[in-house]
């Protein structure tokens, strides 16, 4: 562990920017000028531009007592990449702004940007701008992501049609199980600092919470197979919240089959510990950053054979509402219990 501590005030804001800029390379033909002037200069190369932005606040979105700064940087970038995947688009550029208090050393800021740049490298994204400032209390991170696409390839929330199939990538519930586990160990540690955290055997759920990935690979596979989803979102606030968004924007209803919902087995195994059902973890947990999308019935034969895609239900008319079909065929209304920072 590197114990050196350099104060940010030794460098000042411009020194810090210069220090960070040295580590940044520009790779995309969409990037003409990155960091260094009053604005970055980008080139859409004839495509449409997609822009999304996220704000992450210490104590609300992340807890530095159990989140390493490198992981935090990685996650801050990836959750924004996921917003591009949600539009059926690959991320190309990001800007990253951070506010940090004087308790952060240069080494801490470096660890954060190491995570950002690791994510950028893995997803072929250029870091093209940002802002760094001091904060009077906690850390705050603002990321804006930019991608490019032909208009015909963009997928909105509003395109789901009656009889479309509802699909989800990967597995659900693990990120939230990981969070509950970390919160439990934090509580134990605060009461009994001598007790070592008990996190053994929970690698998958912890990694899903601390180091999620954006499913840009799913975007590429669907494209390769010639499939354009009729609607899509990424699952950041929980499956229940997201299917309700799609149904509302598309003016449709949906029927989901609980036994088809891909709950991660490790998360399911932990559900009891947290007095929840595995299904609740998947429906209301959030932060899995999997893709929820609808496809036309005609694409069923292709999609059913794609590994890691589950078909979990179908779209119905708006008046029928949004329900789970339980094993005795009774209908349970789906309500949003997803995470809301204001509630």
Residues 8-37 close enough to bind a copy of itself by CB under 8 A: 8-9, 11-14, 16, 32-33, 36-37
| DSSP string for residues in 114-135 | HHHHHHHHHHT-EEEEEEEEE-
Residues 103 to 142: which contact a copy of itself by CB under 8 A?
A: 128-138, 140, 142
Question: DSSP letters of 247-274?
Answer: HHHHTEEEEE-GGGS-B-HHHHHHHGGG
Residue 303 has a CB neighbour count (10 Å cut-off) of: 19
Contacts of 308 (CB under 8 A, 6+ apart): 169, 170, 218
Nearer to a copy of itself, 142 or 209 (CB): 142
Identify the DSSP state of 105.
B
The least CB distance from residue 151 to a copy of itself, in Å, is 8
Among the listed residues 58, 213, 287, 288, the single contact to a copy of itself using CB under 8 A: 58
343 sits near a copy of itself (criterion: CB under 8 A): yes
Query: Which position among 21, 23, 27, 39 is part of the footprint of a copy of itself (CB under 8 A)?
Result: 39
3-state secondary structure (DSSP) of residue 67: coil
- Reduced to 3 states (helix: H, G, I; strand: E, B; else coil), residue 291 is strand
* CA–CA dist 258, 269 (Å, integer): 17
Distance CA 290, CA 143 (A): 19
> How many of the other CB atoms lie within 10 Å of CB of 211?
19
User: Does residue 341 touch a copy of itself according to CB under 8 A?
Assistant: yes
Q: Is 146 in the site for a copy of itself (CB under 8 A)?
A: yes
Tell me the C-alpha distance between 342 and 57, whole Å.
Answer: 13
- In the complex, the smallest distance separating the C-beta of residue 41 from a copy of itself, rounded to whole angstroms, is 6
Least distance (Å) between residue 126 CB and a copy of itself: 11
What's the min distance (Å) between Cβ of 172 and a copy of itself? 18
Of the candidate spans 83-91, 112-120, 184-192, 256-264, the one that interacts with a copy of itself by CB under 8 A turns out to be 83-91
* Count of residues interacting with a copy of itself (CB under 8 A): 71
Q: Which stretch binds a copy of itself (CB under 8 A): 78-86, 117-125, 206-214, 306-314?
A: 78-86
342 is a contact residue toward a copy of itself (CB under 8 A): yes
Binding residue (CB under 8 A) for a copy of itself from 110, 234, 264, 290: 234
Please report how close the Cβ of residue 273 comes to a copy of itself at its closest, in angstroms: 27
| Interaction of residue 195 with a copy of itself, rule CB under 8 A | no
CB 115 within 8 A of CB 77: yes
β-pair type (322-325, 331-333): antiparallel
User: In this complex, which beta carbon is closest to a copy of itself, that of residue 112 or of residue 271?
Assistant: 112
């Amino acid at each position: 562990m590197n114990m050196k501590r350099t104060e940010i005030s030794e460098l000042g804001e411009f020194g810090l920017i210069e220090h960070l800029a040295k580590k940044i390379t520009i790779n995309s033909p969409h990037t003409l000028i990155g960091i260094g002037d009053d604005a970055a200069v980008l080139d859409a190369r004839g495509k449409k531009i997609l822009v999304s932005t996220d704000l992450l606040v210490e104590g609300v979105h992340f807890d530095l007592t159990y989140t390493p700064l490198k992981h935090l940087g990685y996650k801050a970038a990836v959750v924004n990449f996921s917003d591009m995947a949600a539009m059926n688009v690959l991320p190309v550029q990001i800007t990253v702004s951070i506010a940090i208090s004087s308790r952060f050393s240069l080494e801490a800021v470096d660890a954060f940007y190491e995570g950002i740049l690791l994510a950028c490298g893995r997803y072929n994204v250029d870091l093209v701008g940002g802002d760094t400032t001091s904060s009077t209390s906690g850390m705050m991170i603002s990321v804006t992501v930019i991608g490019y696409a032909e208009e015909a390839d963009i997928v909105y929330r509003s395109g789901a049609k009656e009889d479309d199939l509802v699909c989800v990538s990967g597995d659900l519930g693990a990120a939230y199980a990981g969070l509950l586990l970390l919160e439990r160990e934090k509580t134990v540690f605060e009461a009994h600092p001598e007790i070592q955290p008990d996190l053994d055997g929970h690698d998958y759920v912890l990694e899903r919470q601390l180091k999620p990935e954006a499913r840009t690979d799913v975007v590429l596979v669907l494209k390769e197979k010639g499939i354009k989803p009729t609607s899509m979102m990424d699952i950041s606030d929980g499956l229940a919240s997201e299917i309700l968004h799609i149904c509302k924007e598309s003016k449709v209803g949906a029927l989901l089959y609980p036994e088809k919902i891909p709950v991660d087995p490790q998360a399911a195994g932990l559900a009891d510990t947290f007095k929840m059902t595995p299904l609740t973890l998947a429906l209301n947990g959030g932060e899995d950053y999997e893709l929820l999308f609808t496809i036309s019935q005609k694409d069923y034969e292709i999609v059913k054979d794609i590994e890691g895609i589950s078909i979990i239900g179908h779209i119905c008319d708006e008046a029928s509402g949004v329900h789970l079909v339980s094993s005795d065929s009774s209908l349970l209304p789906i309500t949003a219990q997803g995470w809301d920072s204001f509630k």
